[in-house]
Amino acid sequence: MKTLRKILPAAAVLLLAAAALLWWLPARWALPLLQPSLHGLRLQQVGGTVWQGHAEQVLATNGRALGRLQWQLSHRALLGQVALRLDLDGPQFGFHGQMQRLPAGQVAWTDLHVHGELSALADPRLRLPLGQPQGEFVLDAEHALLQGGWPLQLQAELQWQQAAVHMKNAEVMLGNLHGTLAAQGGVIHAQWQDDGYGPLRTTGELQLSPLGWRLAAELQPRRDDPALRRWLAALGRADADGTVHVERRGGLAALTTTEKTAR
């Protein structure tokens, strides 16, 4: 009994010390353990604690600086209830939102805001047939439910401001586009249109699922712009009024549709 009375206070002190260490654990101490889950992102000049901290600089996988990161992690994570607030601010990219990990591997985001300069985020080594997107994109979503990175539920507003594509010999201006992005049951549905004043009149919609995708759009120049007309010609033949109708589909869903049509 005497031995037990000596061991219990010592165990209690060790337990309290461990709890205190976890409660005020410096973020830089935990960084080596967290690095594998950052998917190639690197945090520099890390300060604060695991629960409320910051990184003065976040570097992308290609070494590009994204901005300053702040986070708040609920202490309920010790009980397996992960709730995290992220705020990333940079000159060309920003990300703000609250994340909660749910059962069955699902992740819920709320109050999500993402914006970025496409010219800065694009990989210059990637050559796209229709040119490199330029301008600023903005996404705002009140709620998003993801599983394995794929949205199961989503309702978001999209903007592509000062939209343009950079071609080898020209910069094709498209104007300002806005639309909505929704997901239900793992099927994503996007719709968009222009603001009514830019060089391009356009409406369109995209449906996307793990089984396939379908794109339908109409595009018509509002004024005589040779660069824009050449870019539109790469999408399809224009009607008498200059409208180009785009119909594309792919994946298993497209094959199923084709087989039904053939029957």
Q: Taking 90 as the threshold, does the pLDDT of residue 258 lie above it?
A: no
In tens, the pLDDT along 194-204 reads 999 999 999 99
Count of C-beta atoms within a 10 Å radius of residue 10? 9
Q: What pTM does this model have?
A: 0.81
**Single-letter residue type at 38:** L
In tens, the pLDDT along 8-21 reads 343 433 333 344 44
- Please report the beta strands in 148-243, taking only residues with DSSP state E, as ranges in sequence order: 150-166, 171-184, 187-194, 200-209, 212-221
Structure tokens at 216: 């339908």
In tens, the pLDDT along 190-237 reads 999 999 999 999 999 999 998 999 999 999 999 989 999 999 999 999
Q: Comparing 64 with 222, which gets the higher pLDDT?
A: 222
Strand partners, 250: 213
Q: What is the pLDDT of residue 138?
A: 96
Distances (CA, A) of 179 to 122, 137, 156, 228, 236: 22, 11, 9, 21, 23
Q: What is the pLDDT of residue 254?
A: 52
Count of C-beta atoms within a 10 Å radius of residue 249? 15
Q: What is the pLDDT of residue 151?
A: 93
Q: Taking 50 as the threshold, does the pLDDT of residue 35 lie above it?
A: yes
**Cα–Cα distance, 107 to 251 (Å, whole number):** 26
- From 137-141, 160-164, 199-203, 259-263, the region with the lowest mean pLDDT: 259-263
Structure tokens at 122: 């694009």
The confidence band for 4, taking pLDDT boundaries of 50, 70 and 90, is: very low
Count of C-beta atoms within a 10 Å radius of residue 196? 9
**Cα–Cα distance, 173 to 189 (Å, whole number):** 25
